Amino acid sequence: MRVRKGSASATIAIVAAVLTALPACAGAAKGRTVPASVDATGRTDVTRQLNRFIAGVPSGSTLRFRHRARYRVDGTLRLTNRRNLTLEGDGATLFATTRGGAHRSQLAAERGSTITISDLNVIGANTTGDWQTFYPDVQWQAGFEFDGTRGVTLDHVSAQSVFGDFVYLGTDHTTARGPATDVVVRNSSFKRAARQGVALVAARNVTIQGDSFDQVGWATFDVEPDSAPETVQQVRIASNVVGPSEFFLTSRGAKSPVGGIDVANNTLQGTSLEVLLKSGGRQGPWAFTGNTSGTPVVAGISAFDVKRVDGLTVTGNSAPIDRAPAVRVSESCGVDVAGNSFPGATTDLLSDGFGCERSSTSTTQIRPA
């Protein structure tokens, strides 16, 4: 193309030609919106239609739900071995109307990597408002489930009224048994779960920060590998607001390695700072710093009940205790309890005097009972 120097029209022609030759923006080209043919009023079950649509969206794409749509999902939306997939909810809601099977989750991902979900709401089938009753036949249901997925972000999502857990992080179902890794749950709200808030069964490098949790039947945070291949390592639980629950955090029955858990600056409202660490094997380190609650634990019960932990730090926490040791430890080493406010406690730390081999770097502070 030949143009005369200084010609404005020629300049415009050149720019237009260049823009025409450039490929479209990758994000725009690969963005897909749920078709209008999928019922967005909630009158009919659209599990199959949505799964069919999701399966047709290529990896590396952005999947968009319709603005504030209500999708009735009585099954499970599945992301199987998907990569670089973003789900933009735009205020849409996935909700169930049937009780469902034992392992029905509203949205479940297995394997795959780099899955981002934002601005999406999930409502389970436990709509009676009863979050304190345990439902053994459907206890494994979850709002969001990730099995062996690498790279997960939940941002500005919500889940409520589930029979099981708000978020479940576990192993994939192949022989590799890989954990969910590099998971971030942030700026989200969760209300009414009949089992756990976040269940960490097989997970590594997890951050749960800036979220709100309310009305949890058992533990807001449960760290519990079920079998030898599973492990939970490097978890940060920070700056969350936690409402009523049976326990703030538990780690019980886990015989696999558990450690590198940092629990900091969480605010408990209407629930006590009650932590139960009693696994089948040794675990640690654990650190609890700057957590606060104005609700006392049941009379005679310690805020921290710890067994078989190597490396426990409890500093800068504040919670009322009713005639019990604030921290009770047994068969544990490397325990540091300092700078807390535990009004009403009979003592800050009660230990069984378990014998530990102290290294030169040990910060063990154990006072035998």
Q: Residue 175: pLDDT band by 50, 70, 90 thresholds?
A: low
* pLDDT on residue 358: 39
Sign of the dihedral defined by the CA atoms of residues 155, 117, 144, 181, in that order: negative
* pLDDT on residue 16: 45
Q: Which residues pair with 295 in a beta bridge?
A: 272
Q: Distance (Å, rounded) from C-alpha 231 to C-alpha 164?
A: 21
Decide if pLDDT at 183 tops 50.
Answer: yes
Superfamily of domain 30-272 in the CATH hierarchy:
Single-stranded right-handed beta-helix, Pectin lyase-like (2.160.20.10)
Q: Distance (Å, rounded) from C-alpha 218 to C-alpha 277?
A: 14
User: Three-state DSSP class for 136?
Assistant: helix
The DSSP string of 272-315 is E--EEEEEEEEE--EEEES-EEEEPPSTT--SEEEEEEEEEEEE
Q: How many other C-beta atoms can be found within 10 angstroms of the C-beta atom of residue 3?
A: 11
* pLDDT on residue 95: 98
SS3 per residue for 16-63: HHHHHHCCCCHHHHCEEECCCCCCCCCCCECHHHHHHHHHCCCCCCEE
Q: What is the dihedral of CA 197, 201, 148, 241, to 10 degrees?
A: 30
Decide if pLDDT at 240 tops 50.
Answer: yes
User: Three-state DSSP class for 194?
Assistant: coil
pLDDT, tens only, 145-159? 999 999 999 999 999
Mean pLDDT of 252-273: 91
Decide if pLDDT at 368 tops 60.
Answer: no
Burial of 41 from C-beta contacts in 10 A (0-12 / 13-18 / 19+): exposed
* pLDDT on residue 229: 76
Decide if pLDDT at 167 tops 60.
Answer: yes
For the chain, counts of helices (H) and of strands (E): 3, 28
Decide if pLDDT at 48 tops 70.
Answer: yes
* pLDDT on residue 254: 66
Q: Distance (Å, rounded) from C-alpha 334 to C-alpha 309?
A: 8
Q: Domains of the chain: which residue ranges? A: 30-272
| Among the ranges given (20-29, 254-263, 340-349), the one the predictor scored with the smallest mean pLDDT | 20-29
Decide if pLDDT at 127 tops 90.
Answer: no
CB 219 within 8 A of CB 197: yes
Q: Distance (Å, rounded) from C-alpha 218 to C-alpha 164?
A: 10
Mean pLDDT of 238-244: 98
* pLDDT on residue 57: 96
Share of the chain above pLDDT 70, in %: 88
pLDDT, tens only, 268-318? 999 999 999 998 788 999 999 999 999 999 989 999 999 999 999 999 999
Q: Which residues pair with 247 in a beta bridge?
A: 219
Mean pLDDT of 32-47: 98
Distances (CA, A) of 148 to 8, 56, 255, 358: 58, 22, 19, 37
| Among the ranges given (158-172, 251-265, 322-336), the one the predictor scored with the smallest mean pLDDT | 251-265
pLDDT, tens only, 193-218? 999 999 999 999 999 999 999 999 99
* pLDDT on residue 364: 41
Mean pLDDT of 8-27: 43
Decide if pLDDT at 23 tops 50.
Answer: no
Decide if pLDDT at 263 tops 90.
Answer: yes
Give the pTM.
0.88
Decide if pLDDT at 116 tops 60.
Answer: yes
* pLDDT on residue 43: 98
Mean pLDDT of 84-109: 96
Q: Distance (Å, rounded) from C-alpha 76 to C-alpha 51?
A: 8
What rounded mean pLDDT belongs to the chain? 88
Q: Distance (Å, rounded) from C-alpha 145 to C-alpha 147?
A: 7
